[in-house]
Amino acid sequence: MILWETFDQNEIYILVALVIVYTVFFILPKKIPRHITLLFLVWGFATATFFDFTLGGKVMDLYSVNDSGQYELSDLLTYFLFAPFSYFFVYFYHYFQVGRKSIIFYIAGWTILGILMEQLSRFMEMTHYGDGYSVYFSVVIFLGVQTTTALYYELILRQQRKIGDERS
Amino acid sequence: MAFSIFFVLTWLAVFTFGVIQKKLSLVENTFVFLITLIVSINFSWIVMNELELIKRTEETLPYTASLLNRSIIIPVLLLIQLNMSMARDSFLWKTVVMLSAVLVLVGLSYLMTALNITDNTDWNLGLDAIYFFLLNLIAYFAYWVMESVSEKAVNQS
């Protein structure tokens, strides 16, 4: 494990993005219960870790993050950068009261945002596509992850309503 | 063959978790799963790729078997262990369940070496046992954290 290979634009990009993202996280009025907030922060972190170490891992090696194949501190910070995005996803899902009619547009919107963020990350040399990887694969990943997140959040809401009904 | 064996074990672990009586809520189970997943992925990467204490095959199917073990079997077995240990308040019961889980996880590590998925060059099963014991404690800690935060949320509402 190393801190970073060279401290340059990708590290600066990660640090600036972390400050912006976590400032927004703390500024936003709290509308989601604390335990659900904590769960979705970990959900975002785990999703980034899982895909990076699976698709970006040794044998598949479809993409890499930051400067080297070694585990860098900047890699760990990258996963912390992903954590609040899962929270924002469910936060605005709740805020806009996304339902059956609007969920497709909501997920499509987040997928476009994800792709744009990924292209910015490529430009800042945080993300590097490997041979054979293209942005179309990212569309599949974003659609899959966001659909799972939305369905899972709906499942939690149903369970919470059920518990609430049983208590009342 | 290694892939098929680990695929069956993955199926067995997930199916067992699906049918056992859950003592943890959906949120608690997911939280513990995600925390143990993060630790399991990071630990295996650091030990295998950074420190090179364990050599892992680069053949696609056996490699995928190791991914199944790292990302599904280990976290799901810890969930089964946690749900079973919460079924009774007895300290002895919890200890027996935890030690059984460690034994099963060490058995899986042995199976990985027996099937030539991994090669314990500078590693041994004793170190695996220590790691899995600590991972069990991390699972308990994650459960405790989520339970504490959930209780606060209920008390505040």
Closest CA to B57 of A59, A136, A145: A59
pLDDT band at B1; cut points 50, 70, 90: confident
Using a CB-CB distance cutoff of 8 angstroms, which residues of chain A are in contact with residue B26?
155-156, 159
Return the number of CB contacts < 8 Å for A and B: 66
Q: Is B69 domain-assigned? A: yes
Using a CB-CB distance cutoff of 8 angstroms, which residues of chain B are in contact with residue A46?
34, 37-38
Residues of A with CB under 8 A from a CB of B: 1, 33-36, 38-39, 42-43, 45-46, 49-50, 53-54, 57-59, 70-71, 152, 155-156, 159
Q: Is A67 domain-assigned? A: yes
Residue B85 reports pLDDT greater than 60: yes
Q: Is B3 domain-assigned? A: no
Contact B41 A50 (CB under 8 A): yes
Closest CA to B85 of B93, B76, B74, B73: B93
Closest CA to A13 of A128, A127, A126: A126
Distance from CA of B5 to the nearest CA of A (A): 20
Contact (Cβ atoms closer than 8 angstroms) between residue B112 and residue B66: yes
Contact B71 A39 (CB under 8 A): no
Q: Is A129 domain-assigned? A: yes
Residue showing tokens 């405790």:
B144
Using a CB-CB distance cutoff of 8 angstroms, which residues of chain B are in contact with residue A50?
37, 41, 71
| CA-based end-to-end distance of chain B | 53
Question: How crowded is residue A18: how many other Cβ atoms within 10 Å of its Cβ?
Answer: 16
Q: Which domain holds residue A102?
A: 9-167
Using a CB-CB distance cutoff of 8 angstroms, which residues of chain B are in contact with residue A33?
153, 157
Mean pLDDT of A93-105: 91
The predicted structure's pLDDT at residue B57: 87
Using a CB-CB distance cutoff of 8 angstroms, which residues of chain B are in contact with residue A43?
30, 34
Contact B149 A38 (CB under 8 A): yes
Q: Is B63 domain-assigned? A: yes
Contact (Cβ atoms closer than 8 angstroms) between residue B66 and residue B118: yes
Tell me the pLDDT tens digit for each residue of B55-79: 888 888 999 999 999 999 999 999 9
The predicted structure's pLDDT at residue B152: 62
Distance from CA of B41 to the nearest CA of A (A): 7
Q: At what angle do helices A135-167 and B26-45 cross, to 10 degrees?
A: 150
Q: Is B13 domain-assigned? A: no
**Which ipTM score applies to this complex?**
0.91
Does the pTM of the predicted model rise above 0.90? yes
Contact A33 B30 (CB under 8 A): no
The predicted structure's pLDDT at residue B121: 81
Q: Which domain holds residue B66?
A: 27-148
Residue B156 reports pLDDT greater than 60: no
Tell me the pLDDT tens digit for each residue of B117-140: 998 888 899 999 999 999 999 999
The predicted structure's pLDDT at residue B153: 58
Distance from CA of A103 to the nearest CA of B (A): 22
The verdict on B25 touching A (C-beta cutoff 8 Å) is yes
Contact A42 B31 (CB under 8 A): yes
How many structural domains comprise chain B? Answer: 1
Contact A59 B58 (CB under 8 A): yes
Q: Is A90 domain-assigned? A: yes
Helix (H), strand (E), coil (C) string for B24-76: CCHHHHHHHHHHHHHHHHHHHHHHHHHCCCCEECCCHHHHHHHHHHHHHHHHH
